[in-house]
Amino acid sequence: MRQVLSARSLMALICISFTVASAPAAAQFKNAKHAVEYRQGAFKLMGVHFGSIGAMVNGKKPFDSAQAAFDANVVKTVSALPWAAFGDETESIKSGARAEIWLEKEEFLARSKKMQTATAGLLEAAKTGDQAKLKVAFGDTARSCKACHDAYKE
């Protein structure tokens, strides 16, 4: 089994995420460009691990329950990270984010919570080792992600 992050690296990521989430948004980033890079990095990391699960549940690579659980854990952990990096100061930076994010901030953040709830369900399904349950949870999570992308991503 190939793990992209070691258990030690994942623990460090979790510790950093709790530290970042508890700090004021303005103090987290050197500047607006750094905030955009941070959130894009978080989304890219989620995408890599979510894509790995997708390949398994769609028969494009062999199902590996341990790898699926690892990937789901990364997705769930990282799903809490990007939202603090959508500060008002980042609105003018070209990033693929639509202006509606800042015009509909409450709805945007509500959708982020729905996605985080879906990723928690994905992790729970992955922990069962049941590919059919994981496929259902993957679909739920994918729909949550797509709804936000359709509304808020160029």
Sequence spans of domains, the chain: 7-152
CA separation for the pair 100, 74 (Å, rounded): 28
3-state secondary structure 1-67: CCCCCCHHHHHHHHHHHHHHHHCCHHHHCCCHHHHHHHHHHHHHHHHHHHHHHHHHHCCCCCCCHHH
**Tokens 């028969």 label which residue?**
59
Q: What percent of the chain has pLDDT over 90?
A: 81
pTM of the full predicted structure? 0.82
- According to CATH, the topology of domain 7-152 is Four Helix Bundle (Hemerythrin (Met), subunit A) (1.20.120)
Which residue, 150, 142, 147, 148, is CA-closest to 121? 142
Tens of pLDDT along 80-117?
Answer: 999 999 999 999 999 999 999 999 999 999 999 999 99
Tens of pLDDT along 38-54?
Answer: 999 999 999 999 999 99
Instruction: Report the range of poorest mean pLDDT among 25-29, 64-68, 131-135.
Output: 25-29
